[in-house]
Structure 1
Amino acid sequence: MKIQKKHLKPFKNLFVIVLIAFAVWMLFFDANSFLIHHELNSEMDDLEEEKEYYQREIEKDKKALEELSTEEGLEKLAREKYYMKRENEEIYIIEYEDSLDND
C-alpha cells in the first residue's frame, strides 16, 4: 500500500496534473502539435526534392533550347528525329534487333 501511495503522491499535486495535461495537449491535440509538425516537415522535404528535380529538368531544357537555337543543332534534330535529308542525299536507317520495340 505504501508503494502505491509513494508513486501516486506527485499526481496529487495540482501543478503536476496541469503540467501533464498541458504536455499531452501540446504533443497530440493542439494545432501546433508534434505530429502535425512532423507531417509538415516530411512534406517540406518531399517538396524540396521535387523542386530540385524540376530545377535539373529546367537546366536540361535550357541546354536543349540553346542547342536548337543554332543552325547545326536544328539540322541535327531534323535529321535524327524526323529523318529529313538534303537534296540528292540518301539516308539509310539501321535498326538493330535489340533496339526495336517488340510489342
Structure 2
Amino acid sequence: MDKSRLKSLLIKAISNKFIISFLIFFFWVFFFDQHSIWERKEYKSRIEALTKEKEYFLNKIKKDKNRIHELKTNRENLEKFAREQYLMKKKDEDIFIIIEEE
C-alpha cells in the first residue's frame, strides 16, 4: 500500500461517526466511568487490605476461643488471668506494679 491510500483510509476511519462514537465511548468507560481502570485498581487494593484484616481477626478469634476454653476448664488459669489482668489479690497479699521503661 502506498502512503496516500493509507492516509485516505485513515481519514475515512476518523471521519466515520460510528468509529468516533466508539472511541469516545471507549475512553469514557476506560478513564472517566464509575468502573474505570483506576477505580478497579483501588477496589482491588481495598479488597487485599480487607482480606488481610479478615485473616488477622479470624486468627485473633481462634486464639480468644482457645483462651476462653482454657479459662473455663482450668481453675488455676482463671485465677492467674484474674490476678494479671484485673490486679485481684487475696486478703493477705500485696501487689506491686512494675512498669518497664522502653
Alignment TM class, shorter chain as reference? 0.5 to 0.7
RMSD: 3.3
Task: Give me the whole-angstrom Cα distance separating, in 2, the residues matched to 1:34 and 1:102.
Answer: 49
| 1:50 aligns to 2:53 (yes or no) | yes
2:7 corresponding residue in structure 1: 5
TM-score (norm 2): 0.67
Give the corresponding residue for 1:65.
Answer: 68
Q: Secondary structure at the match of 2:38?
A: helix
Q: Across the two proteins, how many residue pairs are aligned to each other?
A: 94
Give the alignment's TM-score, normalised by structure 1: 0.66
Q: 1:37 aligns with which of 21, 40, 49?
A: 40
**Percent of aligned positions that are identical:** 35
Unaligned runs of 5+ in 2: 93-98
